[in-house]
Amino acid sequence: MDYKIIVDSCADLTPEMARDLEITTVPLYLRLGQDEYLDDCSLDLPGFMQMMAECRDSVGSAAPAPAKFIDVMTDDGFVVTVSSALSATYQNAMLGAEETPANVHVFDSKSASAGQTLIAVKLRELIANKLSKQQIVENVNKFIDEMKTYLVIEKFDNLIKNGRLAAWKGKIASALNMKLLLGSNGEGEISLHAKVRNKKQMLDKILNFITESGRKTKGENMVISHTNNLSLAEQLAERVRERFDFKKIFIVPTRGTSSLYANDKGIVLAF
């Protein structure tokens, strides 16, 4: 049996990936001060990023209402949401699933951005292998528990404005011209993993994280999302290929929600 896959717009997908993997996206709302924008295909992302850079008020995002999920829960399937520790999206998707006649299972990714994309790729592989729905749920829950997600940011303004990063950490890092290597703490919350001064240190640190994670890489996938930083994403992918044996590394641009938090030049990777 085939199943429908639904994600929220914090998952980073190119239109081609969404088509090939048959993924439906439910958009979040993005807020710059008092202005609100829908994170869908109509969003002028370069223009939004410019307005975001100029915004001096708070910035953030808001979860889709349960009705938005009900609208697309037309077939049996799965939903992958941004971490419930970061957004009410998971709770709203659960409410939507309770109101639809379709048999829909909602996964809390305990991640965001590239992590959600990686879970969606895994789901499509398991569906293609014709596993039962219970087997798919069990496999994906285990995958989520073991998955690693890291975020490299050069600009901390937005994380400070919306309370994702303690203000003093961002100010210290900015003063020292450092990059922060953040990641999920295993429960879907953002934690600080390392501070690095330059690109070489950052790349070396990520490679060490992959090694120390103990995660199997042979036959597995990796997703790298980037915000206007394709060159660095490609350099990271090349370094990873030299050292590890991932089946495929997907490089994708961040959508509106991920761009808002990763900020310009940010990198998110999941494996």
Least confident of 19-28, 66-75, 193-202: 193-202
The whole-chain average pLDDT of the chain stands at 92
pLDDT exceeds cutoff 70 at 237: yes
Are 254 and 21 in contact, with CB atoms under 8 Å apart?
A: no
188 confidence band (pLDDT: 50, 70, 90) = confident
210 confidence band (pLDDT: 50, 70, 90) = very high
What radius of gyration do the chain's Cα atoms show?
18
153 confidence band (pLDDT: 50, 70, 90) = confident
**Would you kindly state where each structural domain of the chain is located, as residue ranges?**
4-145, 149-270
**Long-range contact list for 129-133, CB < 8 A, 24+ apart?**
133/1, 133/3, 133/76, 133/103, 133/105
189 confidence band (pLDDT: 50, 70, 90) = confident
Give the three-class secondary structure for 132. coil
In the chain, beta strands by DSSP E: 4-8, 23-26, 29-32, 35-38, 59-62, 77-81, 104-108, 149-153, 179-184, 190-196, 221-226, 248-253, 267-270
What pLDDT does 159 receive?
Answer: 67
What pLDDT does 174 receive?
Answer: 61
Per residue in 127-149, pLDDT (tens digit) is 999 999 999 999 999 999 999 99
pLDDT exceeds cutoff 60 at 175: no
Q: What is the dihedral of CA 126, 74, 89, 3, to 10 degrees?
A: 0
What pLDDT does 160 receive?
Answer: 66
Q: Higher pLDDT residue, 159 or 14?
A: 14
Least confident of 11-25, 138-152, 179-193, 226-240: 179-193
Shared fold status for 4-145 and 149-270: no
Q: What is the pTM of this model?
A: 0.93
Per residue in 103-122, pLDDT (tens digit) is 999 999 999 999 999 999 99
Per residue in 57-105, pLDDT (tens digit) is 889 999 999 999 999 999 999 999 999 999 999 999 999 999 999 999 9
In eight-state DSSP terms, residue 10 is: T
Mean pLDDT within 194-206: 91
41 is written with which tokens?
């295909």
DSSP sequence for 204-252: HHHHHHHHHH----BT-EEEEEESS-HHHHHHHHHHHHHH--BSEEEEE
Of the candidates 36, 34, 135, 31, the one whose C-alpha atom is nearest the C-alpha of residue 78 is: 135
What pLDDT does 115 receive?
Answer: 98
Note the CATH number of domain 149-270: 3.30.1180.10
pLDDT exceeds cutoff 90 at 202: yes
Class of domain 4-145: alpha beta
Q: What is the helix (H) or strand (E) element at residue 177, kind and residue range?
A: none
What pLDDT does 250 receive?
Answer: 98
pLDDT exceeds cutoff 60 at 19: yes
